Structure 1
C-alpha cells in the first residue's frame, strides 16, 4: 500500500493532501520522529469530505476506499493517484518530522497486515523496509517561528536517488534503470518508501541510504534528547522563501546528504550568513549539484525536478560552504550481478586528524593535535568533502589522509568558514563537518568516537544559537574541563 504527499511540507495544524494507491481499502495513521529510534504514534486522522476517495467511520476509525486500479507510471510524470485531504486528529501539532502510515483493512475496518495491527495498537514503528514502503514523510513547519534553529530536510536528495517508476538521476543496477535528468516529485519515495539501487550500508544495515531514517531521523533524535528547540522545513520552503523567513533564525542546519540545491536556495543561504546567520553542516556532498523545478513550478507547487549539471561550475559551492565533494571523495561498493549484486561495500578505517585542538569546536573533547578520531567507526565517507586547491579562507580543524582509490581521490576536511572574509564584522559562520556519516556515528552507542562526535555537535549547535557551552552530564560523560586540566597537569609532570 503506497502513498505520497502532494507537497512535502505543511503548516502545523493545517490540512494536507496525500495521494493514495488506487483500488485500495485502507486506514491512515500519523506517527512522529521524537527522541526514540522508533516512530511514536500521534493517532488517527480527520478527513475532509469530498473528492473521489470514499471515507466512512468504522469502529471509531476513518476507513478510506480509493477508486481505480494500479497502472504503470513513469518516473518523470505526475502519478495522478487519488487524493485525500487529512490532518492529525489532535488539537495541537508542533513543527517536526511526521510520517503518514497507510495500512490495508477489511470491510469492517479491521487491519489485514501486521503493520496495521501494530498501528491501531499505537505501537512504536521503525521506519525501515518493508514497513517504510507504506509510509510518506511529511514535514510540519511552524505556524510562527518557535526556535532559533531551522532544520532543512533534504527532500530534493531523496527524490534524486529514488528510481520509482523506472528512473532517477543515477543508474539503478538492482532494478536495471538508467540515469535520467528529470524526475517527478509526485510519486512515492520522497524520504520513505523509495525504490533504490544503493548497496546496503555495512555500518548501518537497518536503514537504506538516501532515506530519512538513515540520516535525518538520527539527528532529530539527538536534538530531542538534548532538549534543543528546532523548527522544521523542506528544501522547497528554502527555495520559495515564503513560509520560511530564514533571517528570523540564528542557525540553519543541513544534515546527512543535502546534495541537491537550487540557485534560489544558495542565494537565500548566502544572504542569511551575510546578515549574521550561522550555517551548521553535518552533511557530506553538500550543495554539490544544481537543480531547478522547471517551468511547471507555479505559485510554489512543484511537480518535477531537473538536474542542471553534474556539479556547480568550478565547484563554486565551496564559496558558500567552504568545502566541496569535488575535492574530497566517496567509497560506495562494487556491483557484480553474477556475484550476488553489491560487493566490497566496506571502507578503509579513515578518520579525522586534529590540527587545531585549541579551537572552540573541540572544547571538552580532550583531543590533541595529531590525534585521529572516527577511523574505526568509518566517520569519513561514504562521501566526504574537501578543501579547494586554491585557498579560500576555510579553516581546517581536522583533515584526512589522501583518499586513494576513492571516487575523486582527494582528502576530506572539517572546520569553519566565513564566506566573505572582507565582509561585515557581524556576518555569520559556517561549520562544515564534511561527511555524510556524521549522524550515523553521532547516534551509534557502540561507536568508539561517539562521545567526541557528540561533543563537537553540541559545541557547534549551542554556540550557533547563542546557548552557553556545557559538557555532557550523563554517566557516559566525555572529558570535561576538569579532566582536561588534569590531563594537562599529567602531561606537564611527565615532561
Structure 2
C-alpha cells in the first residue's frame, strides 16, 4: 500500500514473536472489577475475569512442525455423494480435554481405512499439524436415510466407527478428522477442541449451525436436503427444502463445509500473529458451555447467519457486561433457529428453521424466521446487536471507501478519508436499515461505506461499523463477506485491513 511499508503496517501484529513477549502484552492484574449491568434481557451477573498469564498456548502450538493443508494430491478425484467412497461425521461439534468424540464412517467398497486427526492453524505457513492416526479400521457402506416426511430431516444412524479421547495437552482449535480408504479416497469431518480450563483473552466461535444449514448432503440430485433446497426432478427447489437439518450426517462432497474457508482465512492469520485465542462453536454459545463473559472478546470470524434465542441472549448479556464482539463477515444473526435433540435424546443435534413458512412449533422464543420479523414490532432485528444488518447480495465486488480515518481502528494503516480498498465488499453486505432498532447509549462510528446494486438492481449502501459501550467493550461488524479474505487469501490480502483488524483485536484483548 502506498506510503506504508510492511514493517510499519504490521509491526504491532507480532504479538506472539516469543512466548515471553506474548505473555507480557496482557494486563498483569490478576482480576479486574466488574459490575452487574443491565441488558435488554435482564441483568448480566458478572464476576472477576482472570487475565491470561504465562506463555500463550497458540504461540507454543504454532512452533511445532506443520503438515501441508490441504493434504497432497491423493491421485483421486474428490469424493462424491452418489458413490460415497468414504465419508463420515462426528458425534459433536466440540469436545473438551478428557472427553470423547465418536466418528461414524461409510466406506464403499468395504475395506480398511484410517482416521487421521489434524489441527488447523499457521505452523509456518503449512496450515495444519498432524496429531495422531487411528489403528487400521475396517468399514463398509452405510445407508442414506429416508427424509422425515414432515420436516425433511436426514439423520444417519450409522454405528460408531472409532472413538477418540481428547488428550489433555491438545491446544484448543479447529480440528479435522481425515478419513482415508485403502484405495486413497479421502473425506473430512471438522470439530473444535475447547479449553474449558483456561479463559483466553479472545474466543473464536466457529459457526457450525450455519455450516449445517447449507449442508445439502447427499448432493445426489435426488435425496439431499438443506435449509435452502431439496430436489424436484433433479433440480434444486426451495419448496423442497428441509425445516430440520441434522448434525448426524456428513457434509456434502469431501466433507469440507461451505463457508469454512472464511473461518480458515482468519484462523491462519490470527494464529500467525500469536493472539491469545481459544475456540468454541455456535452450539457451545447456545448451550452455555461457552460463557462469553469469561473472555475479554469474542470473535465471530465466519459467515455466522443462524442464531438461536439463547445465543442472542448470551451475546447481548456479554455486551452489557463489557465483553467485546467482532463479526468479521456479513449477514450475521440473520435467521432465528431452534436447536432440538436427536430422536435418541442427544441434545442440540437438529437445526430447525421454517424461514418463510409458518412455524408450527413456535414457542416463547418466537417463530424461526428472520430475526427482524420474530417480534411483530421488529424489536428483535439484528441491527439492535450489530449496529447494522444484512441489506443485499453484492454481485460484483466493490471497493470499501474509508471513513473516519482518524479513528483508532485505522491507526497505523496510512489511510485517509475517501481512500478505496478495492474488492473488499463482496458476496453479501450489511448496512443501516432505517426503522429498525440500533444500539442505544453507545458511541457508534461508520468506518467505511460502499455503494452497490443488488442482483435485483436495487441500490444499496454497505457500512462497516463499530460502537463502544459504556462498560468499555466494542462491537465491530465488518459488513462484508470478504473481510477475512483480505487478511490471508492470496490475491485478496490488504495490509490496511490487516492493520485495522490488529488494532481491533488488540483493543478487544485489553477491554474491561
Residues 362-414 of structure 1: per-residue CA shift (max 9 Å, x gap): 001111111121x2xx2212011111214836421211114354586421111
- Counterpart Cα distance in 1 of 2:141 and 2:417: 64
1:256 aligns with 2:341: no
Which string of whole-angstrom CA distances, capped at 9 and with x for unpartnered residues, describes residues 254-275 of structure 1?
1121000001000000000100
**C-alpha contact 2:101 2:165 (8 A) present in aligned 1:** no
Q: Summarize the Cα distance change of 1:300–1:319 in structure 2 as closer, same or farther, 3 Å threshold.
A: farther
Specify which of 289, 292, 295 is matched with residue 338 of structure 2. Answer: 292
3-state SS of 2:328 partner: strand
Residue matched to 2:473: 428
Q: C-alpha deviations, 1:200-232, integer Å up to 9, x for none?
A: xxxxxxxxx8232x1111111011110112110
Report how many aligned residue pairs link the two structures: 385
Structure 2 Cα separation of the partners of residues 151 and 76 of structure 1: 29
- The Cα of 1:89 is off from its aligned counterpart by 8.3
Distance 1:76 1:408 in 2: 35
For 1:455, the equivalent position in structure 2 comes to 499
Greater mean deviation of Cα atoms: 80-89 or 156-165? 80-89
CA RMSD of aligned residues (A): 2.7
Aligned to 2:508: 464
2:119 maps to 1:66: no
What is aligned with 2:202? 149
Are positions 1:7 and 2:92 aligned together? yes
2:202 touches 2:295 (CA, 8 Å); kept in 1?
Answer: yes
The answer for the alignment partner of 2:401 in structure 1 is 353
> Which consecutive residues of structure 2, in runs of 5 or more, have no partner in the other structure?
1-85, 219-223, 354-367
Deviations 1:19-43 (A, max 9, x none): 1116553111101101136433112
Cα deviation per residue 1:113-155 (whole Å; 9 max; x = unaligned)? 1x6xxxxxxxxxxxxxxx5xx1000100003124111111000
**Cα distance in 2 for residues equivalent to 1:69 and 1:180:** 22
- In structure 1, the partner of 2:236 is 176
TM-score w.r.t. length of structure 1: 0.72
Give 1:330's match in structure 2, choosing from 369, 374, 393. Answer: 393
State the alpha-carbon separation in 2 of the partners of residues 233 and 269 from structure 1. Answer: 14
The aligned counterpart of 1:98 is 175
The whole-number CA distance in structure 1 between the counterparts of 2:142 and 2:510 is 54
Q: 1:417-465 CA deviation, whole Å, 9 max, x = no partner? A: 25xx7xxx31522011111111112113433x61011111101011100
**CA 369–406 in structure 1, closer or farther in 2 if over 3 Å, else same:** farther
What does 1:52-131 align with in structure 2 at a 5 Å threshold? 62-66=135-139, 69-74=142-147, 76-87=153-164, 92-105=169-182, 112-113=183-184, 131=186
Q: 1:221 to 1:452 in 2, by over 3 A?
A: same
Match in the other structure for 2:369: 309
1:232 aligns with 2:279: yes
Does structure 2 conserve the Cα–Cα contact (< 8 Å) formed by 1:400 and 1:411? yes
2:226, 2:241 within 8 Å by CA — same for their partners in 1?
Answer: yes
1:322–1:387 CA contact under 8 A, matched in 2: yes
Deviation at 1:310, TM superposition (A): 3.9
Q: Which residue of 1 aligns with 2:225?
A: 167
| Secondary structure of residue in 1 paired with 2:406 | coil
State the alpha-carbon separation in 2 of the partners of residues 408 and 9 from structure 1: 41
TM-score w.r.t. the length of structure 2 is 0.69
Contact 1:66 1:82 in 2 (8 A): no
The correspondence for 2:431, drawn from 386, 402, 417, is 386
Q: Distance in 2 between matches of 1:79 and 1:158?
A: 17
- Cα distance in 2 between the residues matched to 1:222 and 1:408: 35
Quote how far apart the aligned CAs of 1:279 are: 0.2
User: How far apart, CA to CA, are the structure 2 residues paired with 1:407 and 1:15?
Assistant: 51
Q: Is the 8 A contact 2:397 2:426 kept in 1?
A: no
Unmatched runs of 5 consecutive residues or more in structure 1: 46-61, 106-111, 116-130, 195-208, 332-346, 468-495
User: Structure 1 residues 407, 149: closer, same or farther in 2, change over 3 A?
Assistant: farther
Residues of 1 paired with 2:203 and 2:388: CA distance?
Answer: 21
Give 3-state SS (helix, strand or coil) of 2:250's partner: coil
